[in-house]
Amino acid sequence: MFANPRKILIGLALLAIALAAPAFVYPVLLMKVLCFALFASAFNLLLGFAGILSFGHAMFFGSAAYVSAQTIKVLGWPTELGILAGGAIAAVLGLVVGALCIRRKGIYMTMITLAFAQMLFFVFMSAPFTGGENGLQPVPRRAILGMIDISNDRVLYYVVLAIFLAGFGLIYRVIHSPFGQVLKAIRDNEPRAISLGYDVDRFKLIAFVLSAGLSGIAGATKAVIFQLASLTDVHWGMSGEVILMTLVGGIGSIFGPLLGAAFIVGMQNQLAGLGEWVLVVQGLIFMTLVMVLRAGIMGLMSDLSRWVSKLRASR
């Protein structure tokens, strides 16, 4: 998977940090970061590599949260099955919505995703099982595979880390596969991809379903961690947040969404007591990034490293 030894070292160092982290940071916060990192990576698969801006990814995240909460709490399913069910439902939803979306292009596609997400929000708001404003809670934390007790936050952290690594690994593989190359070709020049004989709509749809399904896994896991699925998870604000995370980290970079998720979750944690100002700060970050830093943190870092190497070369 990793070609050169430097990358392997960086990868191992990151893994070591991830394994040791709960000793230093509150595990629930770390789990939240991991969940949103997976969500943002799944979103980035669509925006960064297929060029599709979805403004409705909350519908996949939130639906899966409700499905896993419902199956685990009310139907008594095992935790791992509930999470998979959430991901599966989100993927099916992605198939339906994606098939409709790709009938239009560009900015229209974005508005369509937003509209469908809003429709789902209303459906969940009035559906009897969702508990309305209170949400669906408390979701019991049943032992994984009947033997790993996840009532302990630290144990659950390692389970969530495993889910994240599996999801992230899949995204990494997809991006570096021939399929991912075709996606990038479509993003950069759709007419050319069509003329080369690729069934563009099919590729877009598969990317949409993958992204939706993985967003669903993230949402379902979130429901297990916080033992809650609520309207916040399907609200358009959630769709905006995942865009913000990806934008902060760097659209189209592989590790960018992880940084972005950590940054935004950390910021929300710091500003939690300030209520409405979180919204204002998020809006200001959006405006600033779009004006001056469209490539996000990863873009800034590659600019810096280029600058440093240029400086070295000139000496």
**Which residues bind to another protein, rule: CB under 8 A?**
53, 100, 103-108, 110-112, 114-116, 118-119, 122-123, 125-126, 236, 240, 243, 247, 275-280, 282-287, 290-291, 294
Query: Measuring CA to CA, which residue among 52, 82, 13 is closest to residue 223?
Result: 82
Tell me the closest approach of the beta carbon of residue 126 to another protein, in angstroms.
7
Tell me the closest approach of the beta carbon of residue 236 to another protein, in angstroms.
7
Tell me the closest approach of the beta carbon of residue 285 to another protein, in angstroms.
7
Tell me the closest approach of the beta carbon of residue 311 to another protein, in angstroms.
28
Pseudo-torsion of CA 155, 159, 160, 166, nearest 10°? 160
The residue ranges of DSSP E strands in 12-135, in sequence order, are: none
The residue ranges of DSSP E strands in the chain, in sequence order, are: none
Tell me the closest approach of the beta carbon of residue 215 to another protein, in angstroms.
19
By three-state DSSP, how is residue 235 classified?
coil
Number of H helices, E strands in the chain: 13, 0
Cβ proximity to another protein: between 167 and 240 the closer is: 240
Q: How far apart are CA 97 and CA 115, in angstroms?
A: 10
Cβ proximity to another protein: between 123 and 304 the closer is: 123
Cβ proximity to another protein: between 58 and 175 the closer is: 58
Cβ proximity to another protein: between 162 and 280 the closer is: 280
CB atoms within 10 A of CB 102: 20
By three-state DSSP, how is residue 103 classified?
coil
